[in-house]
Amino acid sequence: MTRSVVRSAVLALSLGLVTTSAATACPNCKEAVAAQPSEAAGMARGYNYSVLFMVAMPFTLLGAGAFMVTRAVKRGALPEW
């Protein structure tokens, strides 16, 4: 069993390495480098806010879920197991 799992993992990894191509910069990054200083400041601010939003979203979802479970426990709305 473990030999077949290891063999499958090695095969998947080797296929992944063989079929990938060289990474290139995204078009927006190219535009940000080539932009004028005033435009680059606006793009940098936009990138900053998008990264902050993506980082905060999982914590927001987990916090909202924990709050809902805590509230249900306090109200006694959860079923008894």
Alpha-carbon distances, residue 73 vs 63, 70, 78, 81 (angstroms): 15, 5, 6, 13
pTM, two decimals, is 0.46
Written as six digits, the tokens of 6 are 């290891």
Predicted confidence at residue 19, as pLDDT, reads 72
Per-residue pLDDT of the chain (81 residues; tens, 9 = 90+): 578 888 888 888 887 777 766 656 566 665 666 666 776 677 777 878 888 999 999 999 999 999 998 888 888 876 666
Inter-residue contact 35 to 43 (CB < 8 Å): yes
Q: CA nearest 5: which of 17, 19, 13?
A: 13
Q: How many Cα atoms occupy the beta-carbon half-sphere of 20 within 13 Å?
A: 9
Question: How far apart, in whole angstroms, are the C-alpha atoms of residue 26 and residue 20?
Answer: 16
